[in-house]
């Protein structure tokens, strides 16, 4: 009984901070996008495109604006160092959303650590408060982990009354195997993203995990090798406009299949999004805060 009354006295507070549905919205909300070239306007250039451009078409444009603040070449570390999270924080209005998706530039797959990194962008390995010595502009830089950078940015956005989605990165072309068949597995960033969301309190705290990696992989498997190969025209990472739109829709399916109230602003019914191109809702371990 005591616990119940404590809960009921807490719930209205939570509801006041994060209204689940804007019955009579008095102003527009913005979905701010923070990420790298796979999300950014103009993608990785040379005719590629980032998926952020296409997200707007799935939202009710009378209620939601999408601001694509993603920037090519960025990692969690450089997005922080260059003040790009801060620039978004400066514009946040309570009720806004921030989608954060990094991973392509956070390590180079060769084990390069900050001390060896000539691009000054890889994170310190680990998922806690580890730090590394790196350099930038010939100055020593104390480098944090991916988890520290994104947890720090998310905490700031949450404290400003925004809600946050952390999503792991888009897959690289999964057909570049010796035999050309589909092969894909989640990267460590899927786990890190989930862990950031979980450690900040998950949905009760206004932060959600959308497994964009798996939803993209599902779509790429369904589309087949020819469509996927054509969709990565420049390298194995950057998408054509067509594939970027698919990648955006895969994100929206992940939102619709999850629990975040961002789904209330999506114009498409889940049944219309699911199908031969994108697949269906994925079952996610229900101990994960989705």
Binding site for ligand NAG (CB under 6 A): 25, 27-28, 41, 46, 57-58, 62, 67-69, 80, 85-86, 91, 111-113, 115-116, 128-129, 137-138, 144, 148-149, 152-153, 156, 177-179, 181, 183, 234-235, 249, 252, 267-268, 273
Sign of CA dihedral 240, 245, 251, 253: negative
Closest separation in Å from C-beta 11 to ligand NAG? 27
> In whole angstroms, what is the distance from residue 164 CA to residue 189 CA?
17
If the CB atoms of residues 104 and 249 are measured against ligand NAG, the closer one turns out to be: 249
φ and ψ at 96, to 5 degrees? -70, 170
Structure tokens at 204: 């009760």
Which is the catalytic residue, given 29, 104, 212, 238? 238
Closest separation in Å from C-beta 84 to ligand NAG? 8
If the CB atoms of residues 86 and 236 are measured against ligand NAG, the closer one turns out to be: 86
Which is the catalytic residue, given 36, 37, 75, 120? 37
If the CB atoms of residues 177 and 236 are measured against ligand NAG, the closer one turns out to be: 177
Is-catalytic flag, 235? yes
Is-catalytic flag, 104? no
Contact 100, 153 (CB under 8 A): yes
- How long, in residues, is the chain? 290
Give the angle subtended at the CA of 144 by the CAs of 186 and 36, to the nearest 5°: 50
Is-catalytic flag, 238? yes
Helices marked H in 123-182? 146-159
132 membership: H or E segment, kind and range:
strand 132-136
If the CB atoms of residues 77 and 285 are measured against ligand NAG, the closer one turns out to be: 77
Which is the catalytic residue, given 60, 159, 181, 235? 235
Neighbours of 56 (CB within 10 A): 15
Catalytic residues: 37, 235, 238
């Amino acid at each position: 009984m005591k616990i119940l009354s404590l809960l009921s006295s807490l719930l209205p507070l939570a509801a006041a901070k994060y209204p689940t549905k804007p019955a009579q919205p008095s102003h527009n909300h913005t979905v701010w996008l923070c990420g790298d070239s796979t999300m950014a306007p103009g993608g990785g250039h040379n005719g590629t495109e980032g998926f952020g451009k296409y997200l707007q078409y799935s939202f009710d444009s009378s209620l939601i604006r999408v601001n694509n603040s993603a920037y090519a070449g960025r990692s969690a570390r450089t997005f922080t160092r260059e003040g790009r999270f801060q620039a978004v924080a400066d514009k946040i209005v309570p009720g806004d959303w921030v989608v954060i998706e990094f991973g392509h530039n956070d390590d180079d797959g060769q084990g390069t650590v900050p001390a060896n990194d000539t691009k000054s962008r890889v994170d310190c390995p680990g998922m806690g408060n580890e730090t590394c010595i790196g350099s930038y502009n010939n100055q020593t830089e104390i480098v944090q982990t991916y988890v520290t950078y994104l947890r720090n940015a998310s905490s700031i956005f949450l404290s400003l009354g925004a809600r946050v989605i952390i999503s792991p990165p888009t897959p690289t072309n999964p057909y570049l195997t010796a035999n050309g068949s589909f092969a894909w597995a989640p990267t460590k960033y899927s786990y890190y993203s989930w862990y950031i969301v979980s450690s900040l309190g998950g949905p009760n705290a206004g932060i959600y995990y959308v497994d964009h990696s798996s939803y993209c992989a599902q779509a790429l498997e369904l589309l087949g090798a020819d469509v996927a190969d054509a969709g990565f025209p420049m390298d194995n990472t950057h998408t054509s406009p067509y594939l970027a739109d698919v990648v955006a829709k895969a994100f929206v399916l992940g939102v619709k299949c999850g629990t975040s109230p961002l789904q209330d602003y999506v114009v498409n019914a889940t049944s219309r999004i699911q199908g031969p191109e994108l697949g269906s809702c994925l079952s996610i371990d229900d101990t994960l805060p989705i």
